[in-house]
Amino acid sequence: TDGKIVVDAQGKELKFFDVQDGFGLVLLRQAGIKTAILSARSSPAVAARAEDLKIDKICQDAYPKSDVYARLIREFGLMDEKVCFVADDLPDLAVLKRVGLAVAVSNAVAEVKKAAHYITACRGGDGAVREVVELILKAQGKWKNILARTG
pLDDT in tens, 1-25: 666 677 888 888 878 899 999 999 9
121: DSSP letter: S
pLDDT for the residue 4: 66
End-to-end CA distance of the chain: 28
Total-model pTM? 0.91
The predicted pLDDT at position 8 comes to: 82
Q: Give, in degrees to the nearest 5, the angle at Cα 14 between 127 and 125.
A: 10
* Residue (of 7, 33, 30, 20) closest to 129 by Cα position: 20
Q: What structural domains and CATH numbers belong to the chain?
A: 6-136 (3.40.50.1000)
**Taking 70 as the threshold, does the pLDDT of residue 32 lie above it?**
yes
